[in-house]
Chain A
Amino acid sequence: MRIKSLGYNIRECFKNLWRNRMMSVASISSVAATLLILGIIFVLIVNISAMTQVAKDQFDTIQVYLEDDLAISDIEDIGTEIFKLQGVKDVIFETKEEALEKMKLDWDQNGYLLDGLESNPLPNSYIVILDDINYSDYIVMSIQDTEGIEEVKYYKEVIENIITMTEAIRKVGLFIMVVLIAISTFIISNTIKIAVHARRKEINIMKYVGATNWFIRGPFLLEGIVLGLIGAGIATTLIYIGYKYSYNAIMDQFYMFISAYLIRTQVIIKDVGFLFGIIGSGIGALGSIASLRKHLRV
């Protein structure tokens, strides 16, 4: 398609969109409907991912309890050893006194019960903060048998559950998205096929007058893309309104801590708009090329 014919294509595109406005409306609604469902799934996946990320961050520490009768130099040695390991972000030393204080705070009103203890039964410990939760197994393995360490504790099961759950949600979501895109491409190509069929005479004449295939495709391609983009625009608007409403509703009615993990409307709508634009125009272009194939063989 040369620049010279661009004006022709744009003119033809909008003329035809208007002339076949019933078809145009049908195509746009079908793209919008598909993208809407896609968008809802996308929004859910993104939010669940964000929430599990937050949950993972809360469990990404390993507690290393030390034996009671260690010399200060030994304690320091163990600390530096742990810090050298791959995946360790930070190592914090917690004395047995601090641990007891923490416990008192946790027990809150019943904390006074701990005052009656003759000696502090809690050990000194290191709190190991990880770069990534996936390092936890490796780190635990590496330090478990070190001399002077009594016990290593971490939230293995919780962590593993979170990881498998996130993966499962992602996979199912992706699968549904792929299926939906395939279905909507099919719907669009059928819709455009009707538009192409309505104009098969025109295409036939174009072929006889010596138009190149790309020249004939041009307006249809543009038409498909325009339809896809309008559909994407509508879907984005609907998602924006729906998300904003849900977001505010959750903010108002639920605990702050849930809504704090939700992704803000402005952030998500940028991604949704971008994604919809690409998928919408892609579906439109693919659909129009597919539906023209038969008619270009004259």
Chain B
Amino acid sequence: MIKMLNVSKRYDNGVVAVSNMNLHIKKGDFIFLVGPSGAGKSTFIKMLLKEESATTGRVIVDDLDITKLHRRRVPELRRKIGVVFQDFRLLPNKTVYENIAFAMEITEAKPRDIRKHVPMVLSIVGLADKQKMYPDQLSGGEQQRVSIARAIINNPPILIADEPTGNLDPETSKEIMKLLLQINKRGTTVLMATHDKEIVDLMKQRVIAVEKGRVVRDEVGGRYGYAD
């Protein structure tokens, strides 16, 4: 599903964020991406989304070589990947329903399909009764659920979550993790960057640790492995 072959990323200011990274992520994997701040996790995610391009090496996402992907085809790539952010990034002036429908409208989906799919996804994330509410009327956990619903509405093969529990309390975080695991069980490859030791140790999934732009550890059923 995701392949990285000898990938390096050197920014214009000379900082080498990723150096010579090799990775293979299979379809249906659930992966924790861990490592200290500035280790290259964000650059790694940005490269998958083609927000940044690899300086050398090849990046392949869902059989699409995105190393030299034309700017025009970037939307095509991004529709393969659902993204969840730490800060939710919901539109405050749209209701829960509109926030999710928005992601479908962008793909020029039929209104009929939108009306059918949005309630379905809302019930998956357990917010069927809150579709008319605005984001500021929801709790943090609920907002993150909306953002997950938006990420999966177009059925992407990959879901990237960048510290999805960073702003949430431990109880809510566990609920969100349950939801992500449930989505993973339906066949979606999930890649989650996190600093949350407790969650990583609890879930016992494949853990990829990155330090100074290199993969230093890659183990199935791994632990967080850092002091905090």
Q: Which residues of A contact B (CB under 8 A)?
A: 2, 4-5, 7-8, 19, 201-202, 204-212, 215, 298
Contacts and interface: CB of A to CB of B under 8 A. Distances in A.
Given A8-B105, A205-B91, A215-B106, A210 B76 contact: yes
Contacts of A211: 75, 106
A210 B91 contact: no
B212 interface: no
Interface of B: 49, 51, 72, 75-79, 83, 89, 91, 93, 102-103, 105-108, 110-111, 150, 154
A202 B49 contact: no
Contacts of B89: 201, 204-205, 208
Contacts of A215: 106, 108
A209 B91 contact: no
Nearest 6 pairs between A and B by C-beta?
A210-B78, A210-B79, A211-B106, A210-B75, A209-B103, A212-B75
- Tell me which of B72, B108, B111 has the highest count of chain A C-beta atoms within 10 A of its own C-beta: B108
Contacts of A212: 72, 75
Contacts of A209: 78-79, 83, 102-103, 106, 150, 154
Nearest to A3: B108
Given A208-B83, A209-B83, A211-B75, 11 more contacts: A2-B108, A5-B105, A202-B91, A205-B91, A208-B49, A209-B102, A209-B103, A209-B150, A210-B75, A210-B107, A212-B75
Nearest to A206: B106
Interface of A is mostly: helix
A7 B111 CA distance: 10
B93 A210 contact: no
Contacts of B106: 206, 209-211, 215
A4 B91 CA distance: 23
A237 B141 CA distance: 54
A196 B79 CA distance: 24
Contacts of B105: 5, 8
Nearest to A9: B105
Contacts of A8: 105
A254 B212 CA distance: 87
B91 A201 contact: yes
Nearest to B105: A8
Contact of A19 (B49, B93, B102, B103): B93
Nearest to A1: B108
A298 B78 contact: no
A259 to B, nearest CB: 55
Nearest to B151: A209
Tell which of B76, B102, B150, B154 has the most Cβ of chain A within 10 Å: B102
A19 B150 CA distance: 23
Contacts of A7: 111
Contacts of A205: 89, 91, 102
A212 B49 CA distance: 14
A5 B150 CA distance: 19
Nearest to A215: B106
Contacts of A19: 93
A87 B111 CA distance: 67
Which of B76, B89, B105 counts the most A-chain CB atoms under 10 A from its CB?
B105
Contacts of B154: 209-210
A33 B34 CA distance: 58
B187 to A, nearest CB: 20
Contacts of A210: 75-79, 106-107, 154
25 contacts: A2-B108, A4-B108, A5-B108, A7-B111, A19-B93, A201-B89, A202-B91, A204-B89, A205-B102, A206-B106, A207-B78, A208-B78, A208-B83, A208-B89, A209-B79, A209-B83, A209-B102, A209-B106, A210-B75, A210-B77, A210-B154, A211-B106, A212-B72, A212-B75, A215-B106
